[in-house]
Structure 1
Amino acid sequence: MTSMQHVSDTASFRAVRTDDPPGLAIRGDLGPEHAVRFAGALRGAAAAAPGNLCLDCEGLDTVSVEGLRAMMDAAADLSRLGRSLTVCRLSPYFLRIFRLAGWDQTPGLVLEPPAAAELGNSELARVRRSGLRRPDRPDAADGRHGAVA
């Protein structure tokens, strides 16, 4: 990333505009309280770059339905302009949610799966067995693993 500009920054969620590749890098918990600002950040990134956008989700811990809807809406808007939103560095957990919900079929949305080489065999097997649970994040309420935001 050659240049970064903070476009949404709170204690629990951060969105940073990137130039190389053009788009956003997001970190933390994308809760419903952040969805409107996140959607605006996506629109701003789309206006600032003429081509496709990359949404770097490496640091994404949880995401609300409102946050997911903002991603789907941005991808559909870009698709109407002949562009796309590539969601990259998405955890296997979130990739599974996108696929199970059918959101991977959203026009303009490109999901870049994590490389299997990045996961150890036991971690990959655990993710496959976990369904909609993210095995590496404990549920804050009761300490169990696998909370869905």
Structure 2
Amino acid sequence: MYDRRPPRSRMTFETDDRARVTLVSHPFGLRITGEIDRGNRHLLAGALTWALLAGSHDIRLDLSGLTFIDVAGMRLIVTAAARLSSDREVILDPISPAVRRVLSLTGWDQAPGLRVCS
């Protein structure tokens, strides 16, 4: 079971040899760095599940340090955005060129509940 309380400060949620997910309390969200693919997608899935349950705020994802994300990983983000109530969003800010490319190729930059910045 995930602790539903927002973190008091930045802390590492989960990490492996290729990716790191860090909780950020203000603005509420996650910083995801490294590479997300089949081998470690569970890190992203777990962190997004926690963020969906942890509060009533928008969820800001800092993806500026993400050097690679496969389509299935991006689908996790889009699906999380779609699961939010209409008064919440998943905000991608900032994002890396790799993320921008996947969003553009899939058309998910216009997905419901998802706001792409910078």
Query: Aligned partners of 2:52 and 2:25: how far apart in 1?
Result: 11
Given the alignment of the two structures, is residue 37 of structure 1 paired with residue 59 of structure 2, yes or no?
Answer: no
Unaligned runs of 5+ in 2: 1-7
TM-score, normalising length from structure 2? 0.85
Query: Whose radius of gyration is greater, 1 or 2?
Result: 1
Query: Aligned partners of 1:41 and 1:92: how far apart in 2?
Result: 22
Given the alignment of the two structures, is residue 26 of structure 1 paired with residue 32 of structure 2, yes or no?
Answer: yes
Unaligned runs of 5+ in 1: 114-149
CA-CA distance at 1:89 after TM superposition: 1.2
Given the alignment of the two structures, is residue 95 of structure 1 paired with residue 100 of structure 2, yes or no?
Answer: yes
CA contact (8 A) 1:39 1:74 kept: no
CA-CA distance at 1:4 after TM superposition: 1.3
Deviation string for 1:58-92 (max 9, x for gaps)? 110111122111111111111x4531100111123
TM superposition outliers: structure 1 runs of 4+ over 4 Å: none
Q: Which amino acid aligns with 2:80?
A: A
Q: In the comparison of the two structures, how many residue pairs are matched?
A: 111
Query: Aligned partners of 1:29 and 1:105: how far apart in 2?
Result: 23
- 84, 87, 90: which one aligns with 1:82: 87
CA contact (8 A) 1:14 1:26 kept: yes
Pairing 1:1-149 to 2, within 5 Å after superposition:
3-78=9-84, 80-113=85-118
CA contact (8 A) 2:69 2:98 kept: no
Q: Which amino acid aligns with 1:28?
A: G
Q: Which amino acid aligns with 1:31?
A: D
SS in 2 for 1:32: coil
Deviation string for 1:20-41 (max 9, x for gaps)? 0101000101111222231121
SS in 1 for 2:57: coil
Report the identity percentage: 32
TM-score, normalising length from structure 1? 0.68
Structure showing the higher strand proportion among its residues: 2
RMSD: 1.6
CA-CA distance at 1:10 after TM superposition: 0.7
Deviation string for 1:95-144 (max 9, x for gaps)? 2331232101211000012xxxxxxxxxxxxxxxxxxxxxxxxxxxxxxx
